[in-house]
Amino acid sequence: MIHYRRGEVNDQRHYLELLRRATAQRDEDVWECLQRQLRGIVLSWMRQHPDKEAACRLDSEEHYVNQAFERFRHATLQHQNLEFTTLTAALHYLRTCLNGAILDTLRAYALLREVPLPDPCSPGEPVVEDGMDNGATWEILQNVLTDVRERRLAYLFFHCGLKPGEIVLFCPQEFNDVHEIYRLRRNIIERLLHNTD
């Protein structure tokens, strides 16, 4: 990979074969090897991204790198006719997956951003007789999040304020894989966004 980045490698067959085995043949060992070889490149793209600062306020660089690989793998598994003829094309697609992960996260959090409420004593501010309590909010979340693991994760994220690494550390018997936590969190946020009413 170092030689490829310097433009010293003209024969890409080795990398294309690894890519084919990892995606078309679904070879987990090769996929992990490929991720290890490409992780540094994806991390450098993350560090050069124009929205890096905003994205890193929401999650870690590692999260976005993992999301890029997860999206890349998902696309190649879903579209089995997707085949790369050059390493450049595969890397371009992987970089697109990273950009998508960053932009989707920024959009999702922008929609969930808190809107400051006016002071209750402000003139013209309506008075609410009966507000919704935490029990009612949790009941709504339970209706939207039907999966027990997603409910538990929502509780750990939103109520306890834990990050993925902390969840793995404090709840290893329930969640022992950071990649799974990121996937479930994305599902939760998407479900909440689709049910904003």
Residue pLDDT, tens place only, 101-116: 999 888 877 765 544 4
Same domain, 148 and 102: no
Q: Is residue 50 assigned to a domain?
A: yes
Domain-located, residue 14? yes
Position 9 scores a pLDDT of 57
Co-location of 16 and 103 in the same domain:
yes
Specify if 103 maps to a domain.
yes
**174 lies in the same domain as 139:** yes
Q: Please tell me whether residues 100 and 151 are part of one structural domain.
A: no
Query: With 0-12 CB in 10 A as exposed, 13-18 as middle and 19+ as buried, what is 102?
Result: buried
Both ends of the chain: CA-CA distance in Å?
48
> For position 10, what pLDDT does the model report?
60
Q: Of 112, 145, 166, which residue constitutes the final position of a domain?
A: 112
Q: Are residues 106 and 139 in the same domain?
A: no
* pLDDT value of position 128: 46
Residue 139 sits in the same domain as residue 46: no
- Note whether residue 59 is domain-resident: yes
What's the pLDDT at 107?
83
How confident is the model over 126-141, as a mean pLDDT?
A: 59
Instruction: Supply 146's token pair.
Output: 């039907």
Number of domains in the chain: 2
d(CA 48, CA 28): 29
Q: Are residues 188 and 143 in the same domain?
A: yes
Residue that wins the pLDDT comparison between 84 and 135 = 84
Residue 130 has pLDDT above 60, yes or no: no
pLDDT of residue 164: 84
What are the structure tokens assigned to 132, written together? 């919704």
Both tokens of residue 31?
Answer: 């996929």
Residues 6 and 91 in one domain: yes
Residues 51 and 83 in one domain: yes
Global pTM?
0.54
Q: Does position 165 have pLDDT exceeding 70, yes or no?
A: yes
Asked if residue 156 and residue 107 are part of one domain, the reply reads no
| Domain around 93 | 2-112
Asked if residue 121 belongs to a domain, the reply is: no
In a domain, 123, yes or no: no
CB atoms within 10 A of CB 1: 15
Q: Are residues 141 and 108 in the same domain?
A: no
- Does residue 125 fall inside a structural domain? no
- 156 assigned to some structural domain: yes
Q: Could you tell me if 90 and 15 lie in one domain?
A: yes
As a whole number, mean pLDDT of residues 141-148 equals: 80
- Asked whether 78 and 70 are in contact (CB, 8 A), the reply is no
Strand runs (DSSP E) across the chain, as ranges?
none
- Given a cut of 90, whether residue 65 has pLDDT beyond it is yes
Q: Are 125 and 103 within 8 A, CB to CB? A: no
